[in-house]
Structure 1
Amino acid sequence: MFVSCSNLMNLKTISSRRLFQLLDLFLGLFLLIKFANGSNLSAREDRILCKDKERQAQPELKQSLVDDHGPFSSWGIRDCCQWKGHLNFLYLSDNDFGGSQFPDFNGSLSRLRYLNIANAGLSWRILNQPGNLSRLEFLDLGGNNYSVISFDWLYHLSFLKYLDLSSNHVGENSWLKLVNKLPLHLENLQLRSCGLHGIILSQPLNGSFASLIRVINVSRNRLTSSSALKWLTNISSNLAELNLEYNNLIQASLPRCIESSLEIFNLDWNSLHGFSLASSKLVVLVLDGNQLTGPLPNFCNNAFMSLEELDISHNRFNGTVTESLGCLSRLKHLLASRNSIEVLEFQTPYLFGYGTSPYLYFLNLSNNQMSGILPDLLSPNTLLITEMDLSSNMFDGLLPLLPYINVLNLAKNRFTGSLDPFCKITSKYLTFLEVSGKLLSGELSECLFPWKQLLVLNLDNNNFSGEILTFLGSLFSLKALNLHNNNFSGEIPLSLKDCYNYVENARVRWKGNEYEYERYLGLFRVIDLSSNELTEEISNEITSLLELVAPNLSRNGLTGLIPHNINQLKQLESLNLSENHLSGIIPVTMADLTFLSYLDLYNNLSGRIPLSTQLHTFDASAFVGNALAFVGNQALCGSQVTVQCTEDNTNPNKPDHNKLENGDEFRKWFYARMRVGF
């Protein structure tokens, strides 16, 4: 039987106390069923065991549980003793039981194999109960902030394979008690953020410590030196994965007994100055965020021969990429961003010299000092990179031909010419394209954008010109469009309203800040057409983009009025229409934008500033970091500016909310469908 109550408090109105009452009653009932099935009770006595209280509790419990595969289908039968199911999976994580006691259940969870109560807010006294769960194979107690003193309960969990005590406190006096009582069949031990430090881990462990263990995670603790790794000395050579990230290790010398068996080694965000490893089985090595210096290592060393993923980002490596990179014949992911690496000369078609892994499909060399001309990557038989980030380097020349690319970031380089080479991209799965810079020019051609899966398009800070063509509306999945600081002219294409497909997430840059903003995107959310030469009026059609969060149309030549139905953009957090030639009033409907936190309307507006709690937070004098929301509009009046309103300068054209709300049934229907994800 599978029982999942994850996020139950958000899905059901049932309280934690009532949930445990129902579970207690449910398990008690199955004890009676078990007893009945093993006895010679008469049919009359059998029916007595199924009390009305038990039968009435069944529907309430059933409604509170996940039943995707129908294991509770028999629960409608009047005779409770014919209900089927044995509880072996219980998932209660990410709830808030407010320190409630976990019911004892009188040992009736003896068949339970999986118990997850991470971040559940249950009382620490549950640590006195797992001994009753003798068949458990998976136990997650993470994120409950327990102060673990005794581990006697582990004696009874002889079948346990996975134990997670992360984000609980395992003190110095408790550490040896823990490791000496770990079940012999344990395969995975998670001890993230447990307050462990070097002193308590500096002694080798004695005894048969978890002879089958394959995964150990002691990340986000207070380990500082290699002596803190001595406790691993007597561990079996079965260990395949070791996670030491977010400690403060200066060196990481591993005991030889486990070095040769490791397949995944994570050391990111420590303070490593040096690193050595002899394992020939290593598949994943993560050294991101350390203080490693000097030239890149000789990748022909046996320790790297099996690597499929290598991350050396955020270090201090310098010098050039050598041909030894070609020794990594199995490499799939290479991340070396934010160093000072150079490239002397690319060699077509292998980029870094003969033999570069034909499996390499993810390459991130951004924020280095690389220069030169990028070669075309035309043949999938030589190098099939589908995701590439070479931004913030010094590459120049024409854009390369990359027909098979799915994710491409070439921003902040010195490329010249037009976007025409991108007409050769044949991939149907291009989702991210960023080539912002200063030197690219020309008009946008329709052949450039056949990509129905494109989520993010960023061409900012170039010299592109001409009209923003209507074919952009055919990019149905587009979530973020940035054409800032170019020379585009004409009007805002109405076809943008056709960018309506629904997706969950993507990486975008917005509000003028140079950082990655990641969130649930839904429909089209970010558009930046600022600092161009756009004219004409802002069409009411732009308010069809119902999920817009941050439109920036500033520094153009737009005329006319602010759309009166702007209140349809209920998700707006940032709105910048400044430095255009807009006139008229601020629509009273803007008072409905309750999420608005950034506003700049520097134009020729007049009349009363609408009254609302949200708009009242914007001040004409403003503070550092906020827009001067109403500055430049000399004819505005209201409490936010120096001119106070009189009867003569109130808004003469106050819109009729009933007409606005009833005038567009299609938009009402579309918004309702969008809210539930279609």
Structure 2
Amino acid sequence: MSVLLVLLFLSLATVNINEGCIESERQALLMFKHDVTDGANRLSSWSLHHGHGDCCQWDGVVCDNVTAHVLELHLANPRPLLDDYGSDAENEATERSKLRGKVNPSLLNLTHLSYLNLSQNGFGGIPIPEFIGCIESLRHLDLPKAGFGGLVPNQLGNLSSLEYLNLRADIEDNLYATDLQWLSGLSLIEHLDLSDVDLAQASNWLQVLNTLPFLKNLYLSGCQLPQVPPPTHLNLSSLAILDLSLNDIENSLGGSIFHGLSLYSLDSLQFLNLGSNKFQGKLSSAIGNMTSAIDLDLSDNELEGPIPITMGNLCNLKSIVFSELNLNQDVSTILAVLSGCVSNQLDKLDLSGCHLSGQLTNQLRNFKSLKELHLSGNSVSGPIPISIGELSSLRVLELDQNQLKGQLPSSIGKLTNLEILDISTNLLEGVVSETHIGNLPKLKVFQASKNSFVLRVSPDWIPPFELELLGLRSWNVGSMFPLWLHSQKHLRHLDISGSRISDSLPGWLLNLSSPFQYLNLSHNQIHGQIPGIPWAMSVDLVIDLSFNLLSGPLAPISPNVYFLDMSNNNLSGSLSPLLCYKLKETMGTEILNLGGNVLSGGIPDCWLNWQNLLVIKLSNNRLNGSIPSSMGTLQSIVSLHLQKNHLSGEIPLSLNNCTDLILLDAGENELHGSIPRWIGDSLRKLVVLSLRSNKFSGYIPDELCAIGSLQVLDLADNNLIEVYQDV
């Protein structure tokens, strides 16, 4: 009989599965879909048509296999925002895939919902819905960077079954909490992330956290934590992860957090991040008690060295980030301290900006597991040791801004996993050939500017890598543009300034398939005309072609060019081809430098579509005519350089609209009339005013004395009337 009952139960369960999800819960999901804007059709399967009626089969929905109740909603944006190297199209796609609108209270009908993830969406700054605090079955609530703002609702404290809560915010959403007492209702919480939630008014934050006995992972980065008194008993011994970075915490607060205990006595901690605070004093030898430590970040504090010898006992350490500390120590001594059991496990060592001296030694070969080595911004000298080639796991090697000498060892070519190599701003010299960089297939960033290297590769060489950043400033790359650059389809940042190139500017360089973000070819002997700069370039593009031998007329530029410097060349002709090419196109350019050329003709009246300009440099040319009145529409401009031309007429009254001007230099022209009184009335931020060597006449207006910020006033060599007053 019992066997028959079991078979009957199984048959009923099977029928339930075949019937699909529960009707009330299906309707709840459809109501949720109705209230959100789904630009990428992520919820297209949420439909009653075309055989999609079973909501347990809908994308992002997880049901119980037996009861068919909805248990989980996985609605995080599947396209998280990319870093600075993400293309405009990729970032637009990410924005489009965000769910927007509002969250319908119909989710309350999902009475068995234990998991809710809405992260990385775009709910436009609306408050976190209070009704979420009534979904008592929730054990996991994931809302990081979902676009919620305003006050965190106290109702979340009703989620007594919650084990995981992530409210990590975007700063622009202004998510905040003035009181964290509601957290005490989350007695089972193990993972809590309130990073970038403003807690500046939550004076009870530490007191409440001390009541959570099962808390293991605590993230409070960038929360503006206030100073608080210590609790009588600190109960954070279960913590495995503690992140209090970016809070400006001072020593006094640090002491209160650990209530008289040594900072390093929390021997259960595996990950500790106190970076970007204001801790002071010497690193304590008690750090050696953190025997469970895996990841230790004390960067950007006011702590001082030396590194305690006891750190050599932390055999579980995989990451040490001590950047921007005042260690003031010989780098070889630090390597000696860590060369025991620590070196066998260490993946990352960041000692950049730590006032280190001395030389790198062959102790490096002890760090076989090292994937990242950051020693930027120190005073490390001597050669790069040959043993660097034995660190076969290295992905990031940053030795820039030191005093390293000698040649680049050929053993660097053995680092086949290397993705980032930065040796810029040192005293290195010698030949760099295919032996050094020809076997680095994963290399994405090669920064070696400000050294004295000579590049010597075969003319038909095709690198095995696809670079995104390349810096060869001050190298000798030869008289011709390196043809192998043509193979770099993902290059966004290129600096080959001062590299002895005497070639013409090749069209292919500006037409590579991957748009540039930064292009610096300055201080060479590049000649010939400038081809048009393609309009498919990246937004905020920086182009520096200054100090070359470029000639011929100006060419139109992309509206995406943020910074354009073509100064100190032999460019001739009118400004019109550049300034007036598309009068209806809004130009994004903020800095425009055409000084030191042989440009002639008048300044065209085409400034209405250049409203983003902050700096204009047209000095040292052969421009004539008057200053056009449309320059007065540039209300954001802070620096205007017109000196050493043949400009005539009066200073136009329209410039009184440029109230943010800090520098105005129209010296060494043929301007006449009186010096306008409105300069003193309107341009109250001026620091430098130079009108020297013109034909101004009359009196110096008293209004200039009202410019309190003025530091340089040069009116020499004009026809001004001098006024003497008896004392």
Q: Could you state the TM-score of these two structures normalised by the residue count of structure 1?
A: 0.70
CA displacement, residues 169-198 of structure 1 (integer Å, 9 cap, x when unaligned): 444xx44x3343114254334364442579
Partner of 1:233: 234
Q: Kindly provide the CA deviation profile for residues 328-382 of structure 1, in whole angstroms up to 9, marking residues without a partner as x.
A: 22111111111211134512xx43xx62x211021110111100011234754x5
CA apart distance, 1:421: 6.8
Counterparts of 1:243-282 in structure 2 under 5 Å? 243-247=243-247, 248-250=249-251, 252=254, 254=258, 259-273=266-280, 274-275=282-283, 276-277=286-287, 278-282=289-293
Which AA in structure 1 matches 2:542?
A
Q: CA 1:231/1:138 → structure 2, altered by over 3 Å: closer, same or farther?
A: farther
- The match for 1:406 is 419
What is the Cα-based RMSD across aligned positions, in Å? 4.3
**Take 1:420 and 1:317, find their aligned partners in 2: how far apart are those partners?**
36
Structure 2 match to 1:600: 593
1:365 to 364, 368, 375: 375
Partner of residue 337 from structure 1, selected from 352, 367, 374: 352
Partner of 2:406: 397
2:308 match = 297
Q: What amino acid sits opposite 2:23 in the alignment?
A: I
Match of 2:184 in 1: 180
Between 419-428 and 363-372, report the one with greater CA deviation.
Answer: 419-428
The answer (yes or no) to whether the contact 1:201–1:229 under 8 Å persists in 2 is no
Change (3 A) 1:631 1:140: same
User: Does 1:108 pair with 2:109?
Assistant: yes
Once the two structures are superposed, what CA deviation does each residue of 1:204-254 show, in whole Å capped at 9, x if it has no partner? 977xx44432211223345577x86758822452x2111111221326464
Question: Which residue is 1:200 aligned to?
Answer: 204
The answer for the alignment partner of 2:552 in structure 1 is: 560
Which of 534, 539, 554 aligns to 1:543? It is 534
**What secondary structure does 1:530 align onto?**
coil
Q: Which whole-Å deviations, capped at 9, do the CAs of 1:422-480 have from their partners, x for residues lacking one?
A: 64540111111111115334666547761441111111134554222333212222112
Q: CA deviation digits over 1:585-604, x for unaligned, max 9?
A: 23131654611221122322
Matching of residue 633 in structure 1 with residue 622 in structure 2: yes
| Structure 1 counterpart of 2:513 | 500
Deviation per CA, 1:629-657, whole angstroms, max 9, x where unpaired?
36513357661577479xxxxxxxxxxxx
1:605–1:618 Cα change, 3 Å: farther
Cα distance in structure 2, aligned partners of 1:231 and 1:612: 70
Larger deviation, residues 524-533 vs 159-168:
159-168
1:500 and 1:270 map into 2 onto residues whose CA distance is: 43
CA offsets per residue over residues 485-524 of structure 1, 9 Å max, x none? 23221212333245214xxxxxxxxxxxxxxxxxxxxx22
Equivalent position of 2:167 in the other structure: 164
Question: For 2:563 and 2:422, how far apart are their aligned partners in 1?
Answer: 25
Task: Measure the CA separation in 2 of the matches of 1:490 and 1:545.
Answer: 25
- Map residues 371-520 of structure 1 onto 2, 5 A cutoff: 371-377=381-387, 379-380=389-390, 383-401=392-410, 402-403=412-413, 404=415, 405-420=418-433, 423-441=436-454, 446=459, 450-497=463-510, 499-501=512-514
Instruction: Find the aligned partners of 2:127 and 2:32 in 1 and give their Cα distance.
Output: 29
Q: Give 1:135's aligned residue.
A: 138
Moved more, 214-223 or 133-142: 133-142
Aligned residues: 553
- Provide closer, same or farther for how the CA distance between residues 457 and 168 of structure 1 changes in structure 2, counting only shifts above 3 A: closer
Name the SS for the 1:415 alignment partner.
strand
1:75 partner SS: coil
2-structure distance, mates of 1:493, 1:159: 62
Amino acid at match of 2:186: L
User: Residue type matched to 1:89 in 2?
Assistant: L
Deviation of 1:163 after TM superposition, in Å, equals 4.6
Give distance in 2, aligned partners of 1:368 and 1:103.
Answer: 55
Question: Does 67-76 or 548-557 show the bigger shift?
Answer: 67-76
Choose the corresponding residue for 1:218, options 214, 217, 220: 220
Contact 2:312 2:337 survives alignment (8 Å): no
What residue identity is the alignment partner of 1:131?
C
Pairing 1:606-621 to 2, within 5 Å after superposition: 606-614=600-608
- Which structure 1 residue ranges, 5 or more long, are not aligned? 1-29, 38-49, 502-522, 620-624, 646-678
- Asked if the contact 1:250–1:270 (Cα under 8 Å) also holds between the matched residues in 2, the reply is no
Deviations 1:390-433 (A, max 9, x none): 11110111122211232111111111223237645401111111
**SS where residue 558 of structure 1 aligns?**
strand
Q: Is the 8 A contact 1:62 1:72 kept in 2?
A: no
In structure 2, do the counterparts of structure 1 residues 198 and 318 end up closer, same or farther at CA, with 3 Å as the change threshold?
farther
Q: CA deviation at 1:386?
A: 2.8
- Contact kept in structure 2, 1:547 and 1:570, CA below 8 Å: no
Instruction: Sort the Cα spacing of 1:493 and 1:89 in 2 relative to 1 into closer, same or farther, 3 A.
Output: same
**Cα distance in structure 2, aligned partners of 1:495 and 1:191:** 46
**Residues 333, 543 of structure 1: alpha-carbon distance in 2 compared, 3 angstrom cutoff:** same
Q: Distance in 1 between matches of 2:35 and 2:205?
A: 46
Distance in structure 2 (CA, Å) of the matches to 1:316 and 1:64? 51
Cα distance, 1:74 vs structure 2: 4.2
Displacement of 1:580 in angstroms is: 1.1
Q: 523, 538, 543: which is aligned to 1:531? A: 523
C-alpha contact 1:295 1:318 (8 A) present in aligned 2: yes
Provide closer, same or farther for how the CA distance between residues 82 and 144 of structure 1 changes in structure 2, counting only shifts above 3 A. Answer: closer
1:653 maps to what in 2? none
- Counterpart of 1:654 in structure 2 is none
Q: Please report how far the alpha carbon of residue 581 of structure 1 lies from its aligned counterpart in structure 2 after TM superposition.
A: 1.2
Q: Give the direction of change, closer, same or farther, for the CA distance of 1:75–1:67 in structure 2 (3 Å limit).
A: farther
Distance in 2 of aligned mates of 1:204 and 1:545:
54
Contact 1:241/1:263, CA 8 A, preserved across alignment = yes
Asked if the contact 1:396/1:413 (under 8 Å) is kept, the reply is: yes
Aligned to 1:324: 337
Deviation, 1:61, is 7.1
Q: Is the partner of 1:583 in helix, strand or coil?
A: strand
Moved more, 313-322 or 293-302: 293-302
Percent of residue pairs identical: 19
Question: Helix, strand or coil for the counterpart of 1:130?
Answer: helix
Verify the 8 A CA contact 1:109 1:133 in the aligned structure 2.
Answer: no
Cα distance in 1 for partners of 2:201, 2:37 equals: 46
Question: What is the correspondence of 1:642-653 to structure 2 with a 5 Å cutoff?
Answer: 643=647
Partner SS state of residue 178, structure 1: helix
Residues 64 and 147 of structure 1, relative CA distance in 2, 3 Å threshold? closer
Structure 2 alignment gaps of length 5 or more:
1-19, 62-69, 78-94, 632-641, 650-727
**Structure 2 Cα separation of the partners of residues 230 and 416 of structure 1:** 59
Q: Is the 8 Å Cα contact of residues 184 and 208 (structure 2) preserved in structure 1? A: no
Match of 1:72 among 36, 46, 53: 46
Is contact 1:116-1:140 (8 Å) kept?
Answer: yes
Q: 1:607 to 1:126 in 2, by over 3 A?
A: same
Deviation at 1:162, TM superposition (A): 2.1
- In 1, distance between residues paired with 2:242 and 2:299? 15
Higher relative contact order (CA 8 A, sep 6+): 1
- State the secondary structure of the residue aligned to 1:429: coil
